[in-house]
């Protein structure tokens, strides 16, 4: 390492990343709520667990404006909304100095319209200072809800559920339950706290079952179809299912894939799906 280079601790880089995004958002007139990681109230997350990237929830109608501003200021697109997750909720960027950034246009588990959800969280927002810059964050009860909903997508780490829900006092629990109702997020919340079977009749039950407990890719895709809010949305999911996730393939290869590699992946996907289905049937047979 040369004398001009220094190693910046992750926690410091994350704080400056939040500050950089906030200043850029203010410059172009974009509303953002800083979520997760260093933006979370200390009472809800141990100091030893502060995340590995910057996360912000963006007012949906401001997403395009922020995307353009980020690209003009050194942030490179890493994964898109469409290919980043089963929920299509976040887009990831990478900056040479600040690392990874996820901008969320919605939050998985919240079933009311993204614009309404943002307004609900924005109305009760708090303000904190990160790296000397004022940043808007959800209220503490709202932070707790987002942490719990986020934990529903983890098959192993449920530490946030323990801190934000299981150890919460009665007043905080009442606030959390009320906000879950306002955001129409009961199924994801139940998946996080271990009460998912109460919602077997809900259209998104199967998706949260797969996401929280595991399942094959084919099971996930069918769950996504069933969870789609409209027939048109379900058709879009079906049409997208056979397509190669070029973002993920590029990350696996460490470079942009060639046309031949994309074609090979296109034909390999059905074979993997069949293999997963066979293994799933065998596992069910063994359990039976």
Q: What pLDDT, on the 0 to 100 scale, is given for residue 106?
A: 94
Q: What pLDDT, on the 0 to 100 scale, is given for residue 1?
A: 43
Q: Quote helix, strand, coil % in the chain, to nearest 5.
A: 55, 10, 30
Q: What pLDDT, on the 0 to 100 scale, is given for residue 109?
A: 94
- Using pLDDT thresholds of 50, 70 and 90, give the confidence band for residue 124: very high
Q: Is the model's pLDDT at 266 over the cut of 80?
A: no
Average pLDDT for 126-153: 95
Q: What pLDDT, on the 0 to 100 scale, is given for residue 281?
A: 45
How many other CB atoms are found less than 10 A from the CB of residue 252? 11
Contacts of 226 (CB under 8 A, 6+ apart): 203, 204, 206, 207, 234
**Single pTM value for the model:** 0.79
Q: What pLDDT, on the 0 to 100 scale, is given for residue 153?
A: 86
- Using pLDDT thresholds of 50, 70 and 90, give the confidence band for residue 2: very low
Residue scoring higher pLDDT (155 or 107): 107
- For the record, the structure tokens of 134 come out as 């004022």
> In this predicted model, what pLDDT tens digit does every residue of 206-238 receive, in sequence order?
999 988 887 777 777 677 778 777 777 767 666
Residue scoring higher pLDDT (47 or 198): 198
> In this predicted model, what pLDDT tens digit does every residue of 267-287 receive, in sequence order?
565 555 545 544 544 555 555
- Calculate the average pLDDT of the chain: 82
Q: Compute the chain's Rg from CA coordinates.
A: 20
Q: Is the model's pLDDT at 102 over the cut of 90?
A: yes
């Amino acid at each position: 390492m040369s004398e001009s280079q220094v190693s910046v601790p992750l926690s410091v880089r994350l704080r400056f990343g939040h500050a950089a995004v906030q200043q850029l958002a203010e410059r172009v007139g974009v509303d953002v709520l800083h979520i997760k990681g260093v933006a979370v109230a200390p009472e809800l997350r141990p100091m030893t667990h502060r995340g590995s990237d910057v996360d912000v929830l963006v007012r949906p109608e401001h997403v395009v404006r922020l995307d353009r501003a980020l690209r003009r200021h050194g942030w490179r697109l890493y994964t898109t909304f469409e290919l980043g997750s089963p929920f299509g909720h976040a887009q990831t960027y990478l900056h040479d100095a600040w690392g990874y950034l996820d901008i969320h246009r919605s939050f998985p588990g919240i079933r009311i319209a993204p614009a309404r959800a943002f307004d609900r969280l924005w109305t009760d927002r708090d303000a904190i200072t990160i790296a000397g810059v004022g940043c808007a964050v959800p209220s503490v009860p709202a932070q707790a809800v987002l942490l719990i909903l986020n934990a529903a997508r983890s098959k192993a780490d449920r530490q946030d559920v323990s801190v934000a829900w299981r150890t919460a006092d009665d007043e905080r629990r009442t606030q959390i339950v009320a906000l879950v109702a306002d955001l129409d997020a009961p199924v994801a919340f139940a998946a996080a706290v271990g009460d998912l079977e109460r919602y077997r009749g809900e259209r998104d039950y199967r998706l949260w079952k797969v996401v929280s407990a595991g399942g094959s890719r084919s099971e996930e895709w069918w769950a996504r179809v069933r969870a789609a809010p409209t027939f048109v949305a379900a058709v879009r999911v079906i049409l997208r299912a056979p397509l190669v996730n070029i973002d993920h393939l590029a990350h696996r290869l460490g470079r942009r894939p060639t046309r031949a590699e994309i074609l090979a992946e296109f034909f390999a996907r059905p074979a993997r799906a069949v293999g997963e289905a066979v293994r799933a049937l065998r596992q069910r047979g063994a359990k039976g």
